[in-house]
Amino acid sequence: MNSDLEAAVKKGSQKWRNAFNSGDAEGCADCYEANAIMEAQPFGTYHGRAEILAFWQMLIREGFSNMEYINPKLVAAGDCSAILSADWKMNKAHGNISKELWILQSDGTALLREDYFKAAS
């Protein structure tokens, strides 16, 4: 994996966690491409940034916070994309990220195009 892609994905992932842990649902949603898809089991599937924003707003409103990724793995999926997987935990739940597909944008940042995870309480 090229170093620019790796750095952009790590920065984007950290930006998402910082936004979530500070209660900033808009900051979370801004880490997704406009037409991204997010499958959050057992909650449902969300299409586009507006639906994804509503999901994160609901979770933050319910008091979820303190997200930590455990043993993250990052692998290249082409010259301009990478897949991150990890276990995760927070104050009210834990689970597994099976696939975060991060895409390198023209401005050098990386955004999520696909996000697939499972949650358990």
Q: At 15, which CATH number?
A: 3.10.450.50
Nearest residue to 102 via CA among 39, 9, 20, 27? 9
Structural domain of residue 43, as residue ranges? 3-120
Count of the separate structural domains present in the chain: 1
- In this prediction, residues 30-38 reach a mean pLDDT of 99
Burial of 17 (0-12, 13-18, 19+ CB in 10 A): middle
Tell me the C-alpha distance between 101 and 112, whole Å: 6
The pTM score is 0.94
User: What is the band of 68 on the pLDDT scale with cuts at 50, 70, 90?
Assistant: very high
Nearest residue to 64 via CA among 14, 27, 25, 114? 25
